[in-house]
Amino acid sequence: METLTKKKILFVITKSNWGGAQRYVYDLVTALPRDEFEAGVAFGQPGLLAKKLDAIRVTTYSISSLQRDISVIADVKSFFELLRLFRAKKFDVVHLNSSKAAGVGALAARLAGVPRIIFTAHGWPSWEQRNPISRGLIYFISWLTALLSHKIIVVSDYDLKVARAMPFIAHKTTRIYNGIDLNFPLGSADVVRDSFPTGVRITGTIGELTKNKNQIALIEQAKNDPIMYVAIVGEGEDRMYLTEKIREYGLENRVKLFGFIPASEVLHGFDVFALPSLKEGLPYVLLEAKAAGLPITANRVGGVGEILDAKDMSDFSLERMVVETIKLYK
C-alpha cells in the first residue's frame, strides 16, 4: 500500500499580532487537510497569532530580525535567517504574507530552491500615504517579490488591476477573495452597549489602531457632532495618540477605546459600522459587518467597494477561499 507523503508548507508573516493577514494565515493553516499537508508558520514579532498557533500545536519559527520598519541591517539578518530555515527544512511550498516578510522571503526561497513560492498581496503597500520616493521603492520591491514568486494571490479585483499593470506578472496572478464563515455566531455585545447611555446610536469600528485604519476621522467627526457616540475596537501603535485626542476634545463619555475584542462579540452592539480606512485589501471586519446585516459607512479603498456592492455573499465564503488556495499549492 502506497504511503501518501505530506506536502510541507511554511507560511511566512512579519508580525504575529491579530490583523487581517494574520487571520488569513490562521484560517488557511487550520483548514488544510492534515492528511495532505504539514503546515508551519514563521514570524518576526510575537503576538496573538503565535499564541493561537501554539494552542493548536502548529509548529512555529521565530525570525528574530524580521520587523515591519525598514532597517538594512535587520533586513539582511532576516534574509539569512529565512534562507537557513528554508534550506534546513526543505519545504515544498512557502506562502509569503505581508510586504516585508514577502520582500526578504521571496529571494531567500528562490535561492533555497523552494519548489513552490506563493505570495499573497493583502493590498499593495505602495498605496499607503508616503512620500513619492518611498512609494516608488515600495512599488519596485513589491514587483520584484511578485516576479520571484511562482503564483501571486490578490484579494480584490481592485488589486488584480494593479497586478496586471505590472510587467511580467499578470499571467501568474489570481484573485481569491478573503473568506469568512457566513453563519458565524454573534454575541450579545453587552460590553459595548453597557458602556454608553441607554438609547443612543452607536457608530462602531474594528481594526488595528494605525494611521491606515484612520480611527482619528471618527474622533474628529464626534468632536463636531454632539450626539455621536463611537466605539473603537482594536489595539495598535496609535492607541496613545487616539487616547490623547479623545481627552483633548473632551469626548471621554462619547468615544471609547475597547481594546481587542473579537468582532463576533461586539458587532451587535453597533447601530452603524464605520470603516474610515485610508488603505485596505479586503477587510474581514467589513465582510462580518455586512453578513451581520449592519448599515455600513466606509471609504471605498482597495476591495471595500466590492464588498459593499456584492449582492451575493457566497463569493466571500471561507470554504471557497480555502479550496481555491489549495489548488495553487499542488
According to the model, what pLDDT value does residue 249 have?
98
pLDDT interval class at 48 (50, 70, 90): very high
At 182, is the secondary structure helix, strand, or coil? coil
Give first-to-last CA distance, the chain, whole Å.
22
At 252, is the secondary structure helix, strand, or coil? coil
Residue 60 burial (CB < 10 Å; 0-12/13-18/19+)?
Answer: middle
Whether the CA torsion 47, 50, 54, 56 is positive or negative: it is positive
One DSSP character per residue, 4-32 reads PPPEEEEEEEEE-SSSHHHHHHHHHHHHS
Indicate the fold that domain 190-313 takes in CATH: Rossmann fold (3.40.50)
According to the model, what pLDDT value does residue 240 have?
98
pLDDT value at 137 more than 90: no
* Domain ranges across the chain: 7-175, 190-313
pLDDT interval class at 1 (50, 70, 90): very low
Q: Which three cell numbers stand for residue 171?
A: 499571467
pLDDT interval class at 198 (50, 70, 90): very high
On whether the CB atoms of residues 68 and 78 are closer than 8 A, the answer is no
Indicate the fold that domain 7-175 takes in CATH: Rossmann fold (3.40.50)
On whether the CB atoms of residues 295 and 272 are closer than 8 A, the answer is yes
> How many other β-carbons are positioned within 10 Å of the β-carbon of residue 93?
22
Average pLDDT over residues 98-124: 94
What pTM was computed for the model? 0.92
pLDDT value at 139 more than 60: yes
Distance CA(299)–CA(170), nearest Å, equals 27
pLDDT interval class at 5 (50, 70, 90): confident
Average pLDDT over residues 5-19: 93
pLDDT interval class at 80 (50, 70, 90): very high
**Which of 96-100, 113-117, 184-188 has the least mean pLDDT?**
184-188
Hey, do 7-175 and 190-313 end up sharing a CATH topology, with the first three levels equal? yes
According to the model, what pLDDT value does residue 99 have?
83
What is the per-residue pLDDT across 302-324, written as a single tens digit (0 to 9) for each? Answer: 999 999 999 989 999 999 999 99
Torsion of CA 147, 153, 156, 160, to 10 degrees: 30
According to the model, what pLDDT value does residue 124 have?
86
**Which of 120-129, 162-171, 212-221, 255-264 has the least mean pLDDT?**
120-129
